[in-house]
Amino acid sequence: MIRRDVTLDDGRPGWALVSQVEHARIAMEMARAWSDAVAPLPEAREEFIAAVYHHDDGWIAWELRPTVHDGKPRDFMEMPLDESLAIWRRSIAVAHNDGPLAGYAVSRHFATLCGHSHDEKRHDATWRHLAEEFLEEQADLEQDWKRELTARYGSAEAGARQSLLAWQGVRFFDLASLWLCCAERRQAERVGHEDFVELTWSPAGNDGAGTDLIRVGPWPFLGDELSLAVRCHTIPAVDYATDQTLADVLHSDACRPGELTWRLLPG
C-alpha cells in the first residue's frame, strides 16, 4: 500500500491510501500506450504488459487488512522482510501464469530490490539469511525460465535479450507509476533508469478540475496525451494505535473514496 500525504476537504491533514494493485494498473496503462519511440519493449508485448499489470498482485490479500507502523497505515517501504518476501513470491507466481518472460521479469524485479537491501550493512543475521534464501530460490527459477526462453527465441542470446528488456521495462514502469502515486510533485525530475530509459517528468500545474498536468520528455507514448487515474481512500492523518484501530476507520464514514488523476503531455 502507498501512503500519500493529502489535505482533506475540511482542511485537515490526511492520507490517501493507494493500493499496490492500482499502482500496477496505471503502470500497465503506460506500458500499453508505449510507442517504442525512445526504448523498445519485448517482442512478446502482451506477455510483458501482463507482467507489468500483475507485478504487485501478491499484495491483494495483505491489503484486505493492512497494518500500522508508528501509528500510520503501513507504507510499502515499511514492510518487514518476511512479509515482503511472501508478497513478492505470490506476485511472481501470478506473473508466471502468463508465461516464462513474465515470470522472469517479475522475479528479477524483486530479486533486484532484495539484493540492493541485502547489500546494506544495517540488517541482522536473520534478515540476511531470509534475503539470501529468497535470492537463491529466484536464481533457480530464473534459470528454468531462461531455458524456456532460449527454446522460444532459438538461441540463448536472443532469449537473454528479451529477458533483459522485460525486466528493465517492468522496473521502469514501476518507477514511473510510483513517482506519480507516492506524492504530489512540484519539481521536474528524471524518472527511470539508465539501462532502459530516463525521461524528464515536469509538473505543469493542474487543469482547474483537480487533474495534475505532467510534461514528459522526450515523449514516449502513442497519441498527443495520456490520461491516468487511480482510485484511493482518504483518512485523517491521526495516530492509529493498533491494526484494529485502522481497520475500524477504514470501515467507517471517516474513510472516503477518492481518485488521483493526471494528464501526461509532451514535454
What kind and span of H or E run contains 95?
A: helix 81-96
Distance CA 102, CA 95 (A): 5
Percent of the chain residues past pLDDT 70, beyond the cut: 98
Query: In angstroms, rounded to a whole number, what is the distance separating the alpha carbons of residues 245 and 192?
Result: 37
Which three cell numbers mark 68?
500500522
Q: What is the pLDDT of residues 39-52, one digit of tens each?
A: 999 999 999 999 99
Q: pLDDT per residue over 109-164, tens digit each? A: 999 999 877 556 567 888 889 999 999 999 999 999 999 999 999 999 999 999 99
In degrees and rounded to multiples of 5, residue 67 shows phi and psi of -115, 175
What pLDDT is recorded for position 119? 58
Q: How far apart are CA 102 and CA 47, in angstroms?
A: 6
In whole angstroms, what is the distance from residue 259 CA to residue 16 CA?
9
Q: How confident is the model at residue 194 (pLDDT cuts 50, 70, 90)?
A: confident
Regarding pTM above 0.85, the answer is yes
